[in-house]
A = this chain, B = another copy of it.
Amino acid sequence: MTDRESRSAQLLWGDRTRAPRGPKPSLSVDRIVAEGIELADLEGLEALSMQRLATELGAGTMSLYRYVPSKDDLIALMLDAAMGAPPQVDEGVGWRGALEACARSCAAVFERHPWVLSLAARPRTMGPNEVAYVEAALAALSGTGLSSAEMIDTVVLLNGFVRGVAPFLAAERDTDRRLIDMELIAAHGRRENYPTVAAVLGELGGRRHRNADDSFEYGLRRILDGVAARIDAP
């Protein structure tokens, strides 16, 4: 419980009621966080500075520090707020349907807020919404007969997959930016170092457009098939 994390943890988990003494605040943590998310969505995390954010809010730069202890804490709040609550799962869809719903909802968040990815890639303390996602996934698995360790590992597996593929999906959706730039490789005479890549990409280039959703669904199905096999035959 160091100072550094207790500050952001207090804001993440504590209530934000303040003593009604003194003048009314003209801003609020929620408004700052919301504006920060909007700015990060529009121009990326690197465009988010306290000065820029304050300007956007029509306030002085230092005024923000009345609400948020540091930029890092603000970003932690933005991360959890951007996640939002996990989806409501219909009864009767089974563990598989529930996990699919969680995974798809999570992937949708990463698509809407790409900057979340680089933040979620580092170890941190999860906020209420993030833990709620874990709760939903664990609850879905609680009747399957998996052990506690296996349940956690399954959630880790699924969450890891969604977070890991998101950059690939983003790259597949973006027709300009190529993760693997075969022209660049060929231009430097390295094409023969990667024969299989060249062959596979060449064959695919002839086909109609690569669909990022297909990649996601393919991976999701393989994972859930593997988990199902484990559940059915322990």
Q: Is the Cβ of B135 less than 8 Å from the Cβ of A214?
A: no
Alpha-carbon gap, A152 to B134, bound state (A): 29
Q: A145 at interface (Cβ–Cβ under 8 A)?
A: no
Q: Which residues of B contact A148 (CB under 8 A)?
A: 200, 203-204
Q: Is A197 an interface residue (CB 8 A)?
A: yes
Cβ of A103 to closest chain B Cβ, rounded Å: 11
Contacting pair B197 A134 (CB below 8 A): yes
Q: How far is the CA of A226 from the CA of B126 in the complex (A)?
A: 30
Stretch of A23-31, A56-64, A157-165 with 4 or more beta carbons under 8 angstroms from chain B: A157-165
Interface size class of A (residues with CB under 8 A): 35 or more
- Judge if A138 is at the interface, Cβ distance under 8 Å: yes
Task: Give the shortest distance, in Å, between A197 (CB) and chain B (any CB).
Answer: 5
* Partner-contacting stretch, out of A35-43, A75-83, A89-97, A174-182: A174-182
Number of copies: 2
Whole-angstrom CA separation of A171 from B80 in the bound complex = 18
Is chain A's binding surface mostly helix, strand, loop or mixed? helix
* Among A119, A131, A166, A171: residue with most chain B CB under 10 A: A131
Chain B residues lying within 8 Å of A170, measured Cβ to Cβ, are 123
Asked if A149 is at the interface (CB within 8 A of a chain B CB), the reply is yes
A197 to B15, CA, bound (A): 21
Checking B134, B135, B156, B178 against A219 with a beta-carbon cut-off of 8 angstroms, the contacting residue is B156
Q: Are A152 and B215 in contact (CB under 8 A)?
A: yes
CB-CB < 8 A to A154: which residues of B? Answer: 218, 222
Indicate whether A19 reaches chain B with its CB closer than 8 angstroms: no
A157 to B149, CA, bound (A): 23
Give 7 A-B contacts (CB < 8 Å), ordered by A residue: A117-B121, A117-B122, A125-B179, A148-B203, A151-B200, A156-B219, A160-B168
Q: Which residues of A line the B interface, CB within 8 A?
A: 9, 13-15, 114, 117-126, 128, 131-132, 134-135, 138-139, 142, 148-154, 156-157, 159-168, 170-171, 174, 177-181, 184-185, 187-188, 190, 193-197, 200, 203-204, 207, 210, 214-215, 218-219, 221-227, 229-230
Q: Given contacts A134-B197, A160-B168, A221-B226, list 20 more A-B pairs with CB under 8 A.
A: A13-B188, A15-B188, A117-B121, A118-B118, A118-B121, A123-B167, A123-B171, A128-B193, A131-B180, A131-B194, A132-B193, A152-B200, A152-B215, A153-B218, A157-B161, A157-B218, A157-B219, A163-B164, A222-B229, A225-B229
